[in-house]
Chain A
Amino acid sequence: MSTLAIRDLHVSIETDQGTKPILRGVDLTINEGETHAVMGPNGSGKSTLAYTIAGHPRYNVDSGSITLDGEDVLAMSVDERARAGLFLAMQYPVEIPGVTVSNFLRTAKTAIDGKSPAIRGWVKDVRQSMDNLRMDSAFAERNVNEGFSGGEKKRHEILQLELLKPRFAVLDETDSGLDVDALKIVSEGVNRAKDATGLGVLLITHYTRILRYIKPDFVHVFVAGRVAEEGGPELADRLEDEGYDRYVSAAAAAS
């Protein structure tokens, strides 16, 4: 069984005002097939966790570890992490002018698998996944994220999730900016990927809304760079009713 383990992770970034610590000792263990929701107020370090797992150069790991089945993820380059089976669905996917979606997907698939996908099966898979996500076939010939609406960008992220078949996916606020129809479509995509490959999911969100469609096994509440509380799905219900005020004021009192 695959496991993504995060141990006592401390992460900082460089700012004009000097080094700013963001994560202050995060512990998380995600097994394959499990869905963990990470929730928290703005600025609590949720996205930092996502980008640190993916290896964005802006984030400095000061101490702690991230391992995938015992392998040191922090020692891997960004592309090595992806090839090892990690996937980050980004909150703000970037535009890549001049590179079509179809070319991009094929290049990524080839990189992940170490060989080009068999052309017929691949074309069929792409078409099927696009149909599932209600994406027009013309989409494949557009440049990556160029001129995409917010909803199209998120669907494109989930399209990649379905086609690249990672072992663990971090979804960074995939629900933000989506109307309810798009949210359902995107959530269905995540659930399909879970059913198909036993994907482990780290679902980062500010709101509980997406948890109606993607059921978490565990909920972690992030406040000020730490996990302030953990529990089962019922914790999400409680957050829905009470919000983050309780944690934020507790953190303020502690600091």
Chain B
Amino acid sequence: MADRSETDTVTTLSTDPEHPAQGSTTPVVTGTGTRPAIIADATASHGAGSPVPVQTRNERFASTDVSAFPPVTGREAGWKLTPVDALQGLIAGELDGGRYELGIETTEGAEVTWVGRDDARIGTAGIPEDRAAANAWSSFQEALLVRLTGEEPSSTTLIRSAFGPTARGAHTIVDAKAFSRGVVVLDNRGSAQLAENVEILVGDGADVTVVTVQDWADEAKHVANHFAQVGRDAHLKHVVVSFGGGVVRVNPSVTLAGSGADGDLLGVYFADAAQHLESQVFLFHEADHTKGRVEYRGALQGEGAHTVWIGDVLIGPDATGTDSYEQNRNLVLTDGTRADSVPNLEIETGDIAGAGHASATGRFDDEQLFYLQARGIPEEVARRLVVRGFLSSIVQKIGVPALEVRLQDAIEAELAGEAR
């Protein structure tokens, strides 16, 4: 048995709720340890708000009923880094859960339809762990279903640019049949006040890429929870791209449910002045011999630019032979920004192939700038070169060429400081 468990070298990191990062560029990563045992998010709390000192990540309170959750104050573990006041309309307000206008582009092997709340698939990938997700769930009247059936790769783009100013609740299901292959892009633009849930069912042996692009207008608010179940020998590549919008919080929760399931959870974000971009990522290795890679990268520039990344990885008691790694890297370009980065790793079996995590938040380095300038490259060009390189390593992994080109252009536009 090849047991090259790295658990004894795993460093545990968790937030200190009493001492958030001071100053402009400090990542909120504190504490170290070498405990190879079960590590839990000590700040998690049950729905009733009572603090529970040790709780495994998949034991959080969950419900599809918004009234089962107490009001959100901003002190809860899952909300304390989020500007909840700006989101109360989505967390507690009334949401329009009717059909919305959207553009649909599909190729053979994929179809898009609306289905009712009684559809048997609804709730099978996961259910809400926070009030905004539950509010969306309680509100939606019909769910948008993307069904992938083809074994030849299909491509589906949902162009969602007409939400307008109405507060909405939405539900989307991506149902990938066994052995199907396809890419689904949620292309979000324009104005929006949107709370939504996205369920992703990846059948055995399927290979699916789901990309959600937040290219919203400046004032948009968007709270999304994605739930995915990945079947035996299946592969899900899940990508969160957040560039535009006022407050954007996209939380993917992926369960590697079948033996040999493989999950790539990627994210790239660029926060400008006064923007809040957040992703709380949960990867659950439920089955044996599953492989998970989580990599999120972001850049921050401008007064009040704030990003939050919380990465929870749970390796369950049956997940022997698991190989898992998560990392978050942030590049701080100016003063006045804040990047929170919190990796958490829980391991409930000793027999794993490897598990690790990393988090780094750094400034654009003056020595890098000097080196590039000493070769004649002006400061602005140098800055662009470095940021483009930093973010490209994620963009290049998306594997959708047209989208990659668009995202590279979007990065250029962000760097040029253009109004979006």
Contacts and interface: CB of A to CB of B under 8 A. Distances in A.
A103 B376 contact: no
Contact of A82 (B368, B373, B388, B393): B373
A111 B392 contact: no
B390 A97 contact: yes
Interface stretch (B42-50, B341-349, B378-386): B378-386
B79 interface: no
A88 B377 CA distance: 14
Contacts of A94: 365, 367-368, 370-371
Interface residues of B, number: 24
A83 interface: yes
B370 A56 contact: yes
A96 interface: yes
B371 A93 contact: yes
A54 interface: yes
Interface residues of A, number: 30
Given A78-B370, A103-B385, A104-B385, A164 B390 contact: no
Main secondary structure of the interface of B (DSSP, over half): helix
A82 B382 CA distance: 14
A99 B377 CA distance: 13
Nearest to B387: A98
B21 to A, nearest CB: 23
B389 interface: yes
Contact of B386 (A57, A79, A88, A98): A98
Interface in A203-252: none
A77 to B, nearest CB: 7
A82 B374 contact: yes
B389 A99 contact: yes
A112 interface: yes
Interface string B352-376: 0000000000000111101111111
Contacts of B374: 54-55, 78-79, 81-82, 87-88, 90
Contacts of B372: 96, 104, 108
Nearest to B389: A98
A94 to B, nearest CB: 5
A129 interface: no
Most buried by A among B365, B368, B370: B370
A79 B390 contact: no
Interface string A190-205: 0000000000000000
A82 B370 CA distance: 11
A107 B370 contact: no
Contacts of A83: 376
A156 B224 CA distance: 47
A174 interface: no
A79 B388 CA distance: 20
A79 B366 contact: no
B386 A96 contact: yes
Contact of A79 (B368, B377, B389): B377
A153 B411 CA distance: 30
B389 A97 contact: yes
Given A56-B370, A111-B381, A164 B376 contact: yes
Given A81-B374, A82-B377, A112-B375, 7 more contacts: A54-B374, A79-B374, A79-B379, A90-B374, A94-B365, A99-B386, A107-B381
Interface of B: 365-368, 370-379, 381-382, 385-386, 388-393
Interface of A: 54-57, 77-79, 81-83, 87-88, 90, 93-100, 103-104, 107-108, 111-112, 143, 160, 164
